[in-house]
Structure 1
Amino acid sequence: MAPSLCFRTFILQFMLLVFSILNTSLHASEPPLTLEYYASACPNLFEIVKKEMECAVLSDPRNAALIVRLHFHDCFVQGCDGSVLLDDTITLTGEKKASPNIHSLKGFRIIDRIKNNLESECPGIVSCADILTIAARDAVILVGGPYWDVPLGRKDSITASPELAEANLPTANEGLATIISKFLYQGLSVTDMVALSGAHTIGMARCENVRARIYGGDFEATSGSNPLSQSYLSSLKSTCPPVRGVGDNNITAMDYVTPDLFDNSFYHLLLKGEGLLSSDQEMYSSLLGIQTKQLVKQYAADPVAFFQQFSDSMVKLGNITNQDSFATGEVRKSCRFVNT
């Protein structure tokens, strides 16, 4: 017999309580970040990052989503320490080839260009972790999203962890309770999770990650309980064939209404049952999503509330720190390699 809704709700609430308690010890201290960290040492920092991001987004609006995703994937592994930017070497295995990253992360050359410009302007001063955090903010602004102040002073890690990338990063077909637990582990609330997921309004997804949502059946999809409209489904099937390994790298917008504009239409799609990722649609359609459903409704109805919470949640995301990096970290000369 299937467990009752009350029982499932109790289990979810219990899990959230446990992770909240664990999280208190993992993220108890505030990071030593300040708004004026580079005011004297590199006063042109923000202008340099902004100029390069303007060029990148003007050439391809999709670059905005690529940089935001890089920032997210960095912060969920060892904190926001630039570890996601490291290439593999003989002595270090980076995070780029971990399964959640290997096909989904791009935009590294944009960060390289920003770093090169800053090394010419103020060598050895600005960390790659800080560059990525500022670039993510500017990326959102350049496609119509909100502004927020970015606290700075992060150090670059001299390590990476593909193992934590595998364990910590949310994936497209995970259930709501699992996704929530991964956010709570990082010190981010359910509200933060729903707001940060709104970045998918400018994101693209690979067919490999949405095939379960489209076809169901052997693909173990949740699409049976959260069916897509026939017109949307037909469009997706024309892009993503049903056979594994065929067209896996084809991409489709997670917000097909305004894919290059940062707005709240992502939440309107969830209300219609047309969230592209199963994990996104679960926020509205899951029987366990009592709080998440209300937040989806709120952000769909009130874009100002969404922008404000997204800004606040991005600051929290950027404040996830690797305490070890402050003791042993550095300012890399190249974002791809630790200093020798």
Structure 2
Amino acid sequence: MAAKAGATTFKHSLVLQGCDASILLDETSSIQSEKTALGNMNSARGYNVIEKAKTEVEKICPGVVSYTDIIAVAARDASAYVDGPSYAVKLGRRDSTTASRTLANAELPSFSEGLESLISCFQKKGLTARDMVTLSRSHTQGQAQCFTFRERIYNQSNIDAGFASTRRRRCSRVGNDATLAPLDLVTPNSFDNNYFKNLISFNQIRCFSMEAPRTALSLNTAGTPQNSVLILDLP
């Protein structure tokens, strides 16, 4: 879960005005903290880990390394820790001195948004539909609250019946809103392609691709999970 928290904090930090660590700023008389935005509450976590890392870095080189760079490096290291990809991280980012809960509420995608709306959100950031699907691989880790997938397991038909039945045991029609379920039932603590495989086999509680019949997700699974190729076909 720590790895997922690092990735989520990084993603939610950069989606607004670039990665500037504005998500770390607490509420003050002049700042409306982004931590309490709808898309961040009970989703973005791990703030204490970033604070601890910053404290240790300050002991070695005070006033040099930004919170923003620490978030970026932590996300990379978190991915590698759970057998996900590792990559070079360019450093030198500056921290924001202000935050905008209003902007966060307006621009962070909601779990209930449909495919077309999600594609539009990412296009506004210069990202393609393929980029969006590739980035959604981060959902191979993490958990969702019952209220975010209740509609899917009780009222949607494009879901495996056995999978839906399993999820209903812990998520009733009424109540238990905060009960958690892993986004990837098979390997919830590993960074792999099972999230996409679950989409294809209708074993997914958060499934944007199922909302549009014209969307086809397929995987080339000839390689290792880290090297498998994701293909998004939008005819």
Answer yes or no: same fold by TM over 0.5. Answer: yes
Q: Deviations over 1:231-269 (max 9, x none)?
A: 2112211221211xx222211101000000111111110
Question: Structure 1 regions of 5+ residues with no counterpart?
Answer: 1-61, 217-222, 310-340
TM-score for the superposition, normalised by structure 2:
0.91
How many angstroms does 1:273 deviate by? 1.1
**Which secondary structure does the structure 2 equivalent of 1:252 belong to?**
strand
Residue 212 of structure 2 corresponds to residue 283 of structure 1: no
Question: Structure 2 regions of 5+ residues with no counterpart?
Answer: none
Residue 191 of structure 2 corresponds to residue 262 of structure 1: yes
How many angstroms does 1:84 deviate by? 0.7
Q: Contact 1:195–1:306 at 8 Å: present in 2 too?
A: no
Residue type at the aligned position of 1:154: R
TM-score for the superposition, normalised by structure 1:
0.64
Corresponding residue of 1:175? 114
**Which secondary structure does the structure 1 equivalent of 2:218 belong to?**
helix
**Whole-angstrom distance in 2 between the partners of 1:189 and 1:205:** 25
Please state which structure has a larger fraction of its residues in helix. Answer: 1
Question: Aligned pair count?
Answer: 230
How many angstroms does 1:299 deviate by? 5.3
**Which secondary structure does the structure 1 equivalent of 2:35 belong to?**
coil
Please state which structure has a larger fraction of its residues in strand. Answer: 2
Q: Deviations over 1:197-228 (max 9, x none)?
A: 01111121111211121222xxxxxx23x2x2
**Which secondary structure does the structure 2 equivalent of 1:210 belong to?**
helix
Moved more, 251-260 or 97-106: 97-106
Q: 1:317-332 maps to which residues of 2 (within 5 A)?
A: none
Q: 1:1-340 maps to which residues of 2 (within 5 A)?
A: 62-216=1-155, 223-224=156-157, 226=158, 228-243=159-174, 246-277=175-206, 281-283=207-209, 286-289=212-215, 293=216, 296-298=217-219, 302=223, 303-306=225-228
Identical columns (%): 37
Residue type at the aligned position of 1:238: R
What is the root-mean-square deviation of aligned Cα atoms in Å? 1.9
Higher relative contact order (CA 8 A, sep 6+): 1
- Call closer, same or farther: CA 1:287–1:231 in 2, change over 3 Å: closer
Q: Deviations over 1:108-137 (max 9, x none)?
A: 111111011011111111111111011001
Q: Contact 1:240–1:248 at 8 Å: present in 2 too?
A: yes
Q: Contact 1:83–1:160 at 8 Å: present in 2 too?
A: yes
Please say which structure displays the higher CA radius of gyration.
1
